[in-house]
Amino acid sequence: MIERYTLPEMGAIWSQENKFDTWLKVEILACEAQAKLGVIPKQAVEEIKAKARYDIGRIAEIEDVVRHDVIAFLTSVAEYVGPVSRYIHLGMTSSDLLDTSLAYLLRQAGLLLQDRLRALRDVVGRRAVEHKYTPCIGRSHGIHAEPTTFGLKLAVWYDELGRAEKRLQQAIDDISYGKISGAVGTFAHIDPFVERYVCGKLGLKPAPASTQIVQRDRHAAFLTTLAGIGASLEKFATEVRNLQRTEILEVEEYFHQGQKGSSAMPHKRNPITCERVAGLARLLRGNAVAALENVALWHERDITHSSVERVILPDSTIVLDYMLHKFAQIMDKLIVYPENMRKNLERTGGLVFSQSILLELAKAGLTREKAYALVQKHAMASWEHGRDFKTGILSDPEIEQAIGHDTIESCFDLQNNLRHVDTIFERVGLKS
């Protein structure tokens, strides 16, 4: 991933140094396990641990000749270790090293994403509580529907992020499997103890059954989970973008001192970070599709997945890390305009309370069809001629006779429509 979207901590996980450090760790742990089995002299292991290192430039030089990254790495290490290097990688195949190391790196990345996701959820929850009773209009099809509160919008997001946390935890668990079982997974040339020992030291579990590789349904599940989280972030960002429209302006991304919105128009304040989040979500979805394509490999393994994973696995974790961090910043400093929310809520002259009138008429004994026709007549007059909806309802003798003046007034009581806000907050686990 380009530097623009790479934060330091996640970038460090996918650095060349961390990758080769992890490879070396796996190889040394395997030697330790072999020594415990008596396959390798303990003194040789100590010598390997004392001397083992690598040179990234040298690895590149060797790979130019051998066309094999693992062999190039092992050759570089052997140049430092000397004769006892013959015990390194004993009985292992390249994918034993690659897939176990990859699981370790993906677990590191997943745990960092977990921290980012938790931090975002905390911010959203705080802003939800802050605006628990801030009334605004709810919209369906982009059209005014019924009153809600801005806090309730955010409570929905908070709940969704909670589900994302659970899915991410499951994805991390699913990806945290290594394998050191040999060329086709039969342990023909290495004892299963080595796999158990290495995986245990790395915080991984041994794959119950493997071929030459850990099966790629695990990686596909991991990336589809990341794509799902990205889709939620896109949804949230799209809502902010819509609410920032000039005609609506109920919320706005924080505009920094000295920031410029347009090279041509000095007045512009654009939701550029939300747009960036929405755009990057597309990368996550595309990468998830590529991960699904990687599941089907020939027989016990081919390497059609390998080149793809060198891009999609680092990139997806780096991108989502960036998106979570940025959207947390957006929500932390989001400018909210309660007065504009109230103004928008009232701009249709009470139309948004039409369902309350409909239900009261039905309770009074009118058929739903008759009640709907009565209310819609006044609603359409309000839409088409700008008449005040409440005034029209109060002036209709048939409606007033059916439900009475006081009931009509109660139907237009905003607080009555929002009386269950506390219940919803309790359900999602948010307390004032």
Contacts by residues 133-137 (CB-CB < 8 Å, ≥ 24 positions apart) = 133/418, 133/421, 134/336, 134/338, 134/341, 135/341, 135/342, 135/345, 135/414, 135/418, 136/250, 136/341, 136/342, 136/344, 136/345, 137/341, 137/344, 137/345, 137/352
Catalytic member of 141, 267, 299, 385: 141
For the beta carbon of residue 93, count every other beta carbon within 10 angstroms.
22
3 state SS of 83: helix
Catalytic member of 15, 68, 189, 262: 262
Bridge pairing between strands 335-336 and 251-252? antiparallel
Side-chain-side CA neighbours of 43 within 13 Å: the count stands at: 1
| Residue that has been written with the tokens 């128009």 in this structure | 265
Among 392, 400, 395, smallest CA distance to 376 is for: 392
Roughly how many angstroms between the first and final C-alpha of the chain, as a whole number? Answer: 40
Active-site residue flag, 141: yes
Residue 287 tokens, joined: 């990468």
Look up residue 94 and give its amino acid: S
User: Alpha-carbon distance 222 to 253, whole Å?
Assistant: 31
Active-site residue flag, 144: no
Where b means 16+ CB within 10 Å and e means fewer, 279-299 reads ebbebbbebbebbbebeebee
Among 81, 103, 67, 71, smallest CA distance to 28 is for: 81
User: Alpha-carbon distance 356 to 366, whole Å?
Assistant: 14
- Compute the CA torsion angle 105, 199, 58, 304 (nearest 10 deg): -70
Q: Check: CB of residue 376 under 8 Å from CB of residue 415.
A: no
User: Alpha-carbon distance 391 to 396, whole Å?
Assistant: 9
Which residue numbers are catalytic?
141, 262
